[in-house]
Amino acid sequence: MTTSDASLHAWLDQEDRHTARMIRQYGVYIQSVGGDEQSLSPPFAYTVGLFGIGHPELLALGLDPHTAAHLLNDVAARIRDGHDLTPGEVLTFDNWSHRVTVESVPNPGQIAFAANAFYRRPDEHSVDLLQLTCDDVDGRFPWEDGYARPAWVQPRPGEFRA
């Protein structure tokens, strides 16, 4: 093993310990990735930790990190309380005016890298992933006429790759 390999393994071990600590403390770890408007790449965030209790991880696209964290933490808490999400289900929130539709993601291995690394899963045998797709300010979802945001902000499941 070279020095750079040893350094990489040490860093990965520290990341795993940090992720495990966050999951123990908060129920999930949230991996956030910033977007880039020039390349039409949306910001996104996803959970790590739900796979460990037998549920798909959750993905939010096109939201700022603070809003995404609140959304993912809220829905993850519901799951830990016994709610199993179903694709097509619409979720509402007490303190947020938006609705969210649950959608199955066909290509989780191209997105959930931190979850797959934590659970030691190769991309071709990825953890399952559910996309939480938000409505716009007028209550429309991306597939409805008049949706107020550009399509790249919340791409359809299968169209997005990290």
According to the model, what pLDDT value does residue 29 have? 96
> Which tens digit of pLDDT belongs to each residue from 24-59?
999 999 999 998 887 788 999 999 999 999 999 999
Distance linking the first and last C-alpha atoms of the chain? 30
159 domain residue, yes or no: no
35 domain residue, yes or no: yes
Three-state DSSP class for 103?
A: strand
Distance CA 155, CA 129 (A): 15
27 domain residue, yes or no: yes
- Assess whether pLDDT exceeds 80 at residue 68: yes
22 domain residue, yes or no: yes
According to the model, what pLDDT value does residue 10 have? 66
> Which tens digit of pLDDT belongs to each residue from 77-91?
999 999 999 999 999
According to the model, what pLDDT value does residue 8 have? 60
According to the model, what pLDDT value does residue 14 have? 80
Distance CA 121, CA 127 (A): 7
If you ran DSSP here, which 8-state letter would residue 38 be given? T
Structural domain including 15 reads 3-153
According to the model, what pLDDT value does residue 3 have? 72
- Assess whether pLDDT exceeds 80 at residue 115: yes
Three-state DSSP class for 122?
A: coil
12 domain residue, yes or no: yes
36 domain residue, yes or no: yes
162 domain residue, yes or no: no
List the Cα angle 142/105/22 in 5-degree steps. Answer: 105
Distance CA 118, CA 127 (A): 10
Q: Per the structure block, which two tokens stand in for 46?
A: 């996803």
Distance CA 95, CA 35 (A): 26
Q: Which has the closest alpha carbon to 67: 127, 159, 154?
A: 154
Q: Per the structure block, which two tokens stand in for 61?
A: 């696209």
**pTM beyond 0.85:** yes
161 domain residue, yes or no: no
| pLDDT category of residue 137 using cuts at 50, 70 and 90 | very high
Count of structural domains, the chain: 1
